[in-house]
Structure formats: C-alpha cells, structure tokens
Structure 1
Amino acid sequence: MTENELSYKIIGAALEVHKNLGVGLLENAYETALFYELKMLGFNVKQQVSLPLKYKEITIENAYKIDLIVEDKVIVEVKSVLELHPIFYSQVLTYLKQTDLRLGLLINFNSELIKYGTHRIVNKLINE
C-alpha cells in the first residue's frame, strides 16, 4: 500500500475517532483512540516511538518521540490545540527527514471538522 493510500485510511480512522470523541480532550486520548482504530483496521502501528538523533560525533538518545508510525511509511503527529502553529509543521518535517520517511500527517483533533485539522507534510514524496 502506498503512502497516499495509507493516508486515506488514516484520515478515515481519525474521522471515526473525532466523530466518537468530539473536541476538547487531551492529545493522549485522541492518539490512543487513533492507535486503536488503526490496529483494528489491521495496520502495523507503533505508538510513542522514541528515536535517537546523531549530532556530529554523538548520539542523543530519546531526542524525539513520534506519536504514531503506520506501516513504517507514514508518521502521524496528533495535536489537540486551538491553533496549529508553524513549528508543528516543521516538527513533522524534521521527523520525516530524520527517519527518511516521505509522508507525515499532522492532525489537530480540536477542530470543528477533522478535515480542517488534517494536514499532509511531504518529504520527497513521489506520485504513485
């Protein structure tokens, strides 16, 4: 399954979570519910993936944590904020570059409609 096909399924799962939980909860609630939905769809999903960062001659353990990685192809960063700040987009792009993955989804569950809170961030994505 391509990154684009996966993103369609992930967004569908996020819609299901948003429909059932609504707005106003902490990020962890949405992240855990989305993890559950994706697992129920049969996807290989990793939650709270801690990864090291190589800086010059040293390795910084636990430099960052990725909310979800789906099928080792798509990074999902879950937010529950009033407004998405530009730093959140940069955060996902950094994760993509550090993992050499090509597609990330930034999903803000604190949106009236989930489609307004969902954003694709691309790192060298090829049209498939």
Structure 2
Amino acid sequence: MGLDQGKQIESLAHEVVGAAIEVHRHIGPGQLESTYHRAIEIELGLRDIPFKSEVATPITYKDHPIGDGRIDVLIGDNEILLELKAVDQLAPIHEAQIIAYLKNTGCPLGFLINFNVPLLKEGLRRFANTRNSS
C-alpha cells in the first residue's frame, strides 16, 4: 500500500469511527445488533461514505469452496470492513472472525465494534491486515 493510499484509508477510518460514535451517541447501549447495523448504514449514507452491507466472502479449504462468511459492512473499494456486535463482552471468537475476514478479502483495515458499552471507545477495536495482499 502506498503512502497516499494509506493516508486515504486513515482519513476514511476517521470518518467511519465518527459515524459509529454518532450512532452510539443517539441510540446508546442495549439494542439488538440489527438496530445498530441499520443505523450505521443510514449514518454512512448521510456522510456520503460508500459501503456495501452483508457482503458474502467465500471460505475455502485447500482451494475448495466450503462456504461463505458474511461481512457486516464493507467500506469503499474493499478498504475497511466493519464487524458489528451488541454483546455483553467481546470474545476471542469475535477477534478471530474479523482477522479471518481481513485475510480472506485482502482488506487492509477492519474495526470490531461492540455497541453494547457505556462509551463506544470501550467497544471499538482496530485490526490491520498483516498479510501482504499485493
């Protein structure tokens, strides 16, 4: 990834986190994941941030397709992925899920966002794709 592309992704990441904070500020904790999912879609749209929702990502075993994962929100042109949760506490399986999605897609950056927290910064985790996707 080039320096300009890195700056572009960081700028986009800042906007996306701002959108998530706005959703959390208006709705707060305690709702269903689907509620936050729809709200983040609306907020991204209001901010003219391009995204796709519920994107299927193939899972393979030794180059054989064995199923599909589902990315909650994919931002831009495969630049940032969001995995949304509304749980009491994030678990290691949630982190494993976003890491797998990053590897499967080659997406450089992902956010695991748990909206069921008093302050969103407590439920926000950032993941970089350490796998060389070039």
Q: TM-score, normalised by structure 1?
A: 0.90
Residue 105 of structure 1, CA deviation: 0.2
> For 1:52 and 1:121, how far apart are their aligned partners in 2?
20
- Structure 2 distance, partners of 1:89, 1:12, is 21
How do 1:1-128 and structure 2 match up within 5 A? 2-61=8-67, 63-71=68-76, 72-124=78-130
Number of residue equivalences: 125
d(CA) in 1 for partners of 2:58 and 2:32?
Answer: 26
Identical-pair percentage: 37
With structure 2 as the length reference, what TM-score do the two structures score? 0.87
Q: Runs of 5+ in structure 2 lacking a partner?
A: 1-6
- For 2:63 and 2:16, the matched residues in 1 are separated by 37
The Cα offsets for residues 8-53 of structure 1, whole Å up to 9 and x where unpaired, read as 1111101111111111111011011001111111111100111222
Give the Cα–Cα distance (whole angstroms) in 1 for the partners of residues 62 and 43 of structure 2. 39
CA contact 2:57–2:101 (8 Å) conserved in 1: no
**1 CA distance for matches of 2:25 and 2:19?**
10
